Amino acid sequence: MPVITCVEDLKRIYKRRAPRMFYDYAESGSWTEQTFRENTTDFQDIHLRQRVAIDMAGRSTKSQMIGQDVAMPVALAPVGLTGMQCADGEIKAARAAEKFGVPYTLSTMSICSIEDVAENTSKPFWLQVYTLKDDDFMKRLFDRAKAAKCSAAVITVDLQMLGQRHKDLKNGLSAPPKLTFKSVTNMMTKVQWGLGMLSTKRRFFGNIVGHAKGVADASSLTTWTAEAFDVSLDWDRIREFRKMWDGPLIIKGIIDPRDALEALNVGADAIIVSNHGGRQLDGALSSIRALPAIMDAVGDKIEVHLDSGIRSGQDVLKALALGAKGTYIGRAYVYGLGAMGEAGVTKALEIIHKELEVSMALCGHTDVTKVDRDILMIPRDFSDRWQ
């Protein structure tokens, strides 16, 4: 086993071990992938201010996200098809998050169901939900989350229709994967992945198949999915979802200050500044570049989190210094999962934690909750370059 010191090391192993269609699913954006790239590269425009001769003993990365104690202000983001990256992937990721002391967010489009994850973990997790037209399905989804003792719901509002991701179309992405000459040839080279998949019964969308009306198998799922997303979604509809769920509510997919104000008005407990990892509107602002204006608009009225582009503890530190109270990693933990299963997710969390703790100390802070903009050197036009 090679020495693993950064998330990029996990990514290289993941690329070797995961089937091409699932690697491409994680490692891609929509259209030209401009936003996908800038989500990470824009962090590099922000520099850190090093301080010296400051007592660095007694460092703490402990914080809270929506009132819940966390070992560091980093949650595992909802990622669809996680159970295709590694057998029982959602269960493994949730276990790793639980042991590390950070939140895990289960996607509605997961392979393992809400019940699967609840049965195999001992602490509450969060559930991400899409804004679907089927009221009966949505109500039962929230009821299932309550029965599983999920401690927060994360409503994704930026997927009324699917942004085109060229690689997924060319690869014929599906769960379970379609058996074509190309896919079978590739999967035959991924022995460890294949053995894992043979050992599990979880190969379909566990939250959908058998729960949505008329969806009993993969063929009927395709038709349901094409019709399920609500292109007529508006904020009144989101208020209806707020009534279905009386627990802590997070709204994910905010990239414009005007939408941040709308999210505040529907009674959300937090918002996530996110462009869906660059997978929806290509050419949209990166999340980190959008964050300052959103903080100016609502930062003193609602808890603001950030998702999309985080690959290191330094990225986390920069987001926190700009005012975010929490951050999310998606691809970074998927790299670990696809590379080494549960141990790989733990490794990704350990790497990010160490980078966050060391960088925070070298910037003159020992308490992550006290970090502020003073540790940053930000280009003058970073957040107001455009008219």
Active site residues: 276
Residue 269 vs residues 132, 191, 299, 368: alpha-carbon distances, Å: 21, 44, 12, 21
DSSP string, 166-202: HHHHHHT--SSPP--HHHHHHHTT-HHHHHHHHT-S-
Name 273's bridge partners: 254, 306
57 φ/ψ sector (left φ>0, alpha ψ -120 to 50, else beta) = beta
Tokens read off for 67: 């009132």
Beta-carbon contacts of residue 196 (< 8 Å; ≥ 6 apart): 86, 87, 88, 341
Length of the chain: 387
Residue 15 vs residues 20, 136, 222, 338: alpha-carbon distances, Å: 8, 39, 27, 8
What end-to-end distance do the CA atoms of the chain give, in Å? 50
DSSP string, 321-366: HTT-SEEEESHHHHHHHHHHTHHHHHHHHHHHHHHHHHHHHHTT-S
